[in-house]
A and B are shown apart, each in its own frame.
Chain A
């Protein structure tokens, strides 16, 4: 029976492979990917998904398939590593395992693996380093003071164990600069420059840090909590700053307008807006400032920010309102709100991530124009 079943699957596989070649479409790639998954052919799954996405870059299904393939591959590697670790534990393997979990975005597993490693090998700085990277990623995503401070603690431990670890010093200098701890930034940069005197990123960060005023006192706890309360970092990344348009320049407004225009070009989007304070850039079917969609976006974003803080769950960052009208996707950051009215439920995740990108890229751009 098993042989017959296998033969049937192989026949189906050949049929789908042919279909992908002769009539390529997102669904034919997804179907083929599904069969590869069932057969445990993870490399083929990844290859097919990537090939499909190259042909149909707008397909959300194929994006998900690529992500799924990557996840499957990582899970396979994780299972192998876990088996290795059970047979012969080694700190390097723990670090590798934690790095895989980090790539999967499974913070709980990163933490569990690193803690297990630290218990067994307390002097292994690698586990502290991966843990710090995971916490930093959480901090930059959510601006949670607790995550930021924990990340700094883990990085300090790395430097205690390996004083010449340039990666940890760089991450520390960077996060200190982003939260406005300029004295600490300069201190870490000095140590870094002794190790890597020609590092262009380090030199750029030093240039930027030297231009900032030096605070008399520097309480990290206060600075990280100020970032959380404001919902924004004190300084933009030094490397990005060099390529970003100057605040308030015509270029900066144009870049936000262009990004909004690109978003509105998606077939599922009817209306899109970027609001900063009382000004709004709009694209799509919006006649004036009294448009119902704009009214909903303004009112709901404000109410959600207020409710979120009062409920003690931090800053409201994004949301989706579903109803008869379709889906209103919102993304907030401080006083900036980007939103779009979308009519395709399958595209909602994509629209939200595009909005997040738009808001993130525009954060330091002063929208002087608008209607």
Chain B
């Protein structure tokens, strides 16, 4: 198992986390542990669309760069964290307490930033 997948597997053990993946800004999957409920290719494509929309509009509005985007939806939450060239996707159930998971997310992000720089 690759080092990135190991980090993702460990992250998925956190309460409420249902899956995680690392994708590049243009939608290419670097590593995935998203689980059966989400189709990784679909998620990678949609996340890429979301990130490019946000980046473009932030750039046009001269606001700067995005480091993180948290989405709350009816049946789940998605957290997108910038790793530089790639993004970490964390998928949780709708009841997950993101403030409690913050430290876990930060640890995983720091570790992945290091690994992604080597791999991408």
- The number of A-B residue pairs with CB atoms under 8 Å apart is 114
The 8 Å CB contact of A313, one of B47, B67, B78, is: B78
Q: How far is the CB of B39 from chain A (nearest CB, A)?
A: 9
User: Which residues of chain B have C-beta atoms less than 8 A from A295's C-beta?
Assistant: 57, 60-61
Within 8 A of B (CB), among A250-301: 291-293, 295-296, 298-300
The 8 Å CB contact of A316, one of B38, B72, B94, is: B72
B residues with a Cβ closer than 8 A to A are: 38, 42-43, 46-47, 49-50, 53-54, 56-58, 60-76, 78, 91, 94-95, 99
**Contact B78 A323, beta carbon cutoff 8 Å:** no
**Contact A318 B69, beta carbon cutoff 8 Å:** no
Known: A304-B71, A317-B73. A299 touches B54 (CB 8 A): yes
CA distance A226 to B46 in the complex (A): 24
User: Which residues of chain B have C-beta atoms less than 8 A from A316's C-beta?
Assistant: 71-73
- A324 — nearest CB in chain B belongs to which residue? B64
Main secondary structure of the interface of B (DSSP, over half): mixed
Q: How far is the CB of B25 from chain A (nearest CB, A)?
A: 14
Q: 7 closest pairs, A vs B, by CB?
A: A292-B61, A314-B74, A324-B64, A313-B76, A303-B53, A299-B57, A314-B75
User: Which residues of chain A have C-beta atoms less than 8 A from B50's C-beta?
Assistant: 300, 303-304, 307
**Contact A323 B64, beta carbon cutoff 8 Å:** yes
CA distance A308 to B57 in the complex (A): 19
CA distance A325 to B66 in the complex (A): 8
Known: A228-B74, A296-B57, A322-B68. A142 touches B94 (CB 8 A): yes
CA distance A317 to B50 in the complex (A): 15
CA distance A304 to B70 in the complex (A): 10
- A142 — nearest CB in chain B belongs to which residue? B74
Whether A144 is near chain B, meaning CB under 8 Å from some CB there, is yes
**Contact A142 B61, beta carbon cutoff 8 Å:** no
CA distance A298 to B64 in the complex (A): 17
Within 8 A of B (CB), among A314-361: 314-325, 349
The 8 Å CB contact of A311, one of B60, B66, B78, is: B78
**Contact A323 B63, beta carbon cutoff 8 Å:** yes
**Contact B46 A323, beta carbon cutoff 8 Å:** no
**Contact B69 A313, beta carbon cutoff 8 Å:** no
Known: A299-B57, A307-B46, A307-B49. A324 touches B65 (CB 8 A): yes
User: Which residues of chain B have C-beta atoms less than 8 A from A312's C-beta?
Assistant: 38, 75
Known: A228-B74, A313-B74. A322 touches B69 (CB 8 A): yes
**Contact B58 A310, beta carbon cutoff 8 Å:** no
> Residue-by-residue, is A134-160 near B (CB-CB < 8 Å gives 1, otherwise 0)?
000000001110000000000000000
**Contact A314 B76, beta carbon cutoff 8 Å:** yes
- A138 — nearest CB in chain B belongs to which residue? B94
User: Which residues of chain A have C-beta atoms less than 8 A from B58's C-beta?
Assistant: 292, 296, 321, 323, 325
Q: How far is the CB of B117 from chain A (nearest CB, A)?
A: 20
- B53 — nearest CB in chain A belongs to which residue? A303
The 8 Å CB contact of A291, one of B56, B61, B75, B95, is: B61
User: Which residues of chain B have C-beta atoms less than 8 A from A107's C-beta?
Assistant: 95
User: Which residues of chain B have C-beta atoms less than 8 A from A310's C-beta?
Assistant: 42, 46
CA distance A299 to B71 in the complex (A): 14
Residue from B42, B64, B66, B68 having most chain A Cβ neighbours under 10 A: B66
User: Which residues of chain B have C-beta atoms less than 8 A from A349's C-beta?
Assistant: 99
**Contact A144 B66, beta carbon cutoff 8 Å:** no
> What are 24 inter-chain pairs, A to B, with CB distance below 8 A?
A144-B75, A291-B61, A292-B57, A292-B60, A293-B61, A295-B61, A296-B57, A296-B63, A299-B56, A303-B49, A303-B54, A306-B49, A307-B47, A313-B74, A313-B78, A315-B74, A316-B71, A317-B72, A317-B73, A322-B66, A322-B69, A323-B63, A323-B68, A324-B64
Q: How far is the CB of B48 from chain A (nearest CB, A)?
A: 10
Residue from B49, B66, B74 having most chain A Cβ neighbours under 10 A: B74
CA distance A310 to B67 in the complex (A): 23
The 8 Å CB contact of A321, one of B69, B75, B94, B99, is: B69
- A303 — nearest CB in chain B belongs to which residue? B53
> Residue-by-residue, is A203-232 near B (CB-CB < 8 Å gives 1, otherwise 0)?
000000000000000000000000010000
**Contact A318 B64, beta carbon cutoff 8 Å:** no
